[in-house]
A and B are shown apart, each in its own frame.
Chain A
Amino acid sequence: MKLVSAIIKPFKLDDVRQALSDIGVSGITVSEVKGFGRQKGHTELYRGAEYVVDFLPKMKLEVAIAADKLDGVIDAITESARTGKIGDGKIFVSDLEQVIRIRTGESGPEAL
């Protein structure tokens, strides 16, 4: 099992959610985060006080999937989240040791 985390541009969330749904991934967790990579921040100005804001708002998605779905998920996220401009984000893949469904106590791939 794999845990796929993706940092994407916030306005791409709906596209990515739809793309994942289309390949049968229905459960995702989303959090609002801030970050930067190569994308530059912007300047804000308040009565002459200038602030350079490095951190940009992003969305972080996490999906837990069976290992055989990994390539499909990566492709789905990549294609739906890409704009071609700097700041599109990154996908991180890690091994998922265990998954448990809280309601029923199921574990392993059945719990995904």
Chain B
Amino acid sequence: MKTIKRVGAAIAASAMAVLPSVALAEDKLSAGDTAWMLAATVLVLFMTIPGLSLFYAGMVRAKNGLSVMMQCFAITALMTILWAIAGYSIAFGGPGEYWGGLSKLFLAGVTVDSLSGTIPETVFMVFQMTFAIITPALIVGAFAERMKFSAMLVFMAIWLLVVYAPIAHWVWGDGGWLGGKGILDFAGGTVVHINAGVAGLIAALVIGRRKGYPGTAMMPHNLMFTVVGAGMLWVGWFGFNAGSELAADGVAGMAMAVTQIATAAAALTWMFAEWIAHGKPSVLGIASGAVAGLVAITPASGAVGPMGAIAVGAASGLGCFIAAVKLKKVFGYDDSLDAFGVHGVGGIIGALLTGVFCAPSLGGAGFGDGISSIGGQVAVQALGAGATLVYTAVMTFIILKVLDLIMGLRVTDEQETEGLDLALHDERAYNL
């Protein structure tokens, strides 16, 4: 979303007293904006529980289905509390180049009447919370079927505060250094997708491949769930993208339009690519293509036009198809559910193409502050993508390695064979 200059109510009041003729419309509560943002927040939460949960759970083996649901559900609960206590402050607490400080620790100062732009600050805080929930949940896809639940909880707690919240501040926070350079990341291509995708890749490499990978058959146990989940993600993503305008206006409307168009383009592209490459289109393929499009349009949704959206979607559909289907085999890493292949690669494609299709000559809404050319914008986009990639890769690696020493990251061979549902939770998903 756009970097908002938050003018406190007190300052606004005194300004009004000095300059009564100045209309400070952005400081008044807008019922329309608030109503939409309440709804958008709900949509984004729905993307995690149960959208992403089902999308992922369907792709793992039956003996691990519940473990995925458990990870997503527990992350939802844990990130909620941590965001309220500290994450919100680190990301949005106040001005700063690299973080927002601790002035809003325990949500200090966030009251019933506090405003964030034209919406209550509480709504803004929860809206952002739902992003802070889904980003770690995305990483689950990389280490599915083999990570210890306890280690995952600790990892996610640290990762939220040390990786996600600072990066969110860099891009969206007051004074954030990437925002200051004119980066265009409307809804989190960098903050969410490149971040989670790269973290996932590192996790897949550090934790290692699943036992028996790649020779053993590990087929998705319920693609019905996966497709249902993909549909929920598509629908919920309108909260993610259109909601990132933080207002009910034309920009939100355009964000909705380009989101729908890019996603459709990507779904078709992956479907046709697979049809050509393998002879038949697949359900998992078209659903994955849609998600790839959603990921790529995320940073672009405030800046590109409908025709640009087709290009962004098609590029991501093809790029992520190649990454998930071909690249993974070439390099041999077990990014089980393609967290990097779809979110990492899609996020990078989207971030870079945002720099191209934001150009007014290509139907876009214009460049970031201080930038006047496609080359200039793409450079900033690349800087943002690169900085995020490096920071998240290094920090994720360190956190995982330290946790591995302290508590171990991976389940035992017996537990992995038995299945995490029984081994870690004493439960079966299906008692048929």
Residues of A within 8 A of B (CB): 44-49, 51, 53
Bound-state Cα–Cα, A36 to B135, Å: 45
B338/A51 in contact, CB under 8 A = no
- Whether the Cβ atoms of A48 and B220 lie closer than 8 Å is no
User: A45-B278, A45-B282 are contacts. A51–B328 as well, Cβ < 8 Å?
Assistant: no
Q: Are A46 and B220 in contact (CB under 8 A)?
A: yes
Which listed residue (B59, B217, B325, B329) contacts A51, Cβ 8 A? B217
B46 to chain A, nearest CB (A): 25
A47 contacts B217, C-beta separation under 8 Å: no
Please pick, from A47, A49, A53, the residue contacting B288 in the complex, using a CB distance under 8 A.
Answer: A47
Secondary structure of the A contact surface, majority rule: strand
Q: Which one of A46, A47, A51 has the greatest number of beta carbons of chain B within 10 Å?
A: A47
**What are 5 A-B interface contacts by the 8 Å CB criterion?**
A45-B280, A46-B220, A47-B325, A49-B214, A53-B217
The chain B residue sitting closest to A50, CB to CB, is B278
Q: Is the CB of B329 within 8 A of A48?
A: yes
Q: Which residues from chain B sit less than 8 Å from chain A, CB to CB?
A: 59, 214, 217-220, 278, 280, 282, 284-285, 288, 324-326, 328-329, 338
Chain A residues whose CB sits within 8 angstroms of the CB of B288 once the complex forms? 47
Contacts of A47 in B (CB 8 A): 284-285, 288, 324-325, 338
In whole Å, how far is B177's beta carbon from the nearest beta carbon of chain A? 37
B86 to chain A, nearest CB (A): 37
Nearest-neighbour CB distance to chain A for B369, whole angstroms, equals: 40
Known: A45-B282, A47-B338, A49-B214. 17 other contacts (CB 8 A): A44-B219, A45-B280, A46-B59, A46-B219, A46-B282, A47-B284, A47-B285, A47-B288, A47-B324, A48-B324, A48-B325, A48-B326, A48-B328, A48-B329, A51-B217, A51-B219, A53-B217
| Min CB gap B340→A, angstroms | 13
Chain B residues with CB under 8 A of A51: 217, 219
A51 to B338, CA, bound (A): 18
Tell me the bound Cα distance from A61 to B283 in angstroms: 35
CA distance A47 to B60 in the complex (A): 13
C-alpha spacing A47/B218, complex, angstroms: 12
Residues of A within 8 A of B218 (CB): 49
Residues of A within 8 A of B285 (CB): 47
Measured CB to CB, the closest approach of chain B to A90, in angstroms, equals: 26
Pick the contact of A46: B280, B284, B326, B329 (CB < 8 A).
B284
Q: Whole-angstrom distance from the CB of A87 to the nearest CB of chain B?
A: 21
Complex Cα distance, B278 from A24, in Å, reads 50
Q: How far is the CB of B354 from chain A (nearest CB, A)?
A: 26
- Chain A nearest CB from B122 CB (Å) reads 40
